[in-house]
Every structure is written in C-alpha cells, then in structure tokens.
Amino acid sequence: MASGEVEHLTGIGEIYAGDQLLRSARYELTVSSGAAVGTPGAPTIIGSIDITGMGEAVVLAGPDRLMLKLEDGRRLMFTLSSTSGRIRADGIIEGA
C-alpha cells in the first residue's frame, strides 16, 4: 500500500474470543498506510462492528482481545473501544 493510501473493508465477519465463536457481525474498517501508534510500519486500522443486541455490561466486561475473521478469510486482532462497537486494531490484518 502506497503512503496515505486507504482501503475500505465491509462485510459480515465472525468474532472470536480465543477459539470460541461469539457471533457473526457486520463490520466496517478503514485501513490507511500511516504508521499505527506503537507499531512502527504497521497500517492504521479503525472501524466498527455491529454489536446490536449485546448488552452494555457484556461489551464492557468481555474479553480484552478479540479476533475478527473477515469475509475473505483474513484475520484482525482487536479490542472494543466503545459500547457502540468502535474497535481499535492491535496490529495488521493477517492473511488467510
């Protein structure tokens, strides 16, 4: 990805806590080639997942690290950064 280039990813993915599938959910991610804070050389990834129907307490008390399996098979480790479904990526999107 050239410097400043942006990739938009949307679809229905699977959210896992470890090996356990929690649910399928719509996701929307924006990947830019600007370096992420704390991970030199890694892209910046921001986005959201649809957590409709999950109680606020469940979201806030949930696992620290989750994995989103995208429609194309790639995987992204992330944490929820808000009760509205905003996510913060913990690195890069790994290949299938």
d(CA 11, CA 35) in angstroms, rounded, equals 24
Tell me: pLDDT of 47 over 90: yes
| Report field, pTM of the whole predicted structure over 0.85 | no
Residue 33 has pLDDT above 90, yes or no: no
Residue 82 DSSP code: S
Running DSSP on this structure, what letter comes out for residue 64?
Answer: S
Q: How far apart are CA 7 and CA 16, in angstroms?
A: 23
Facing residues of 86 across strands?
48
State the pLDDT confidence band at 57, using cuts at 50, 70 and 90.
very low
Neighbours of 4 (CB within 10 A): 8
pLDDT in tens, 9-23: 999 999 988 888 888
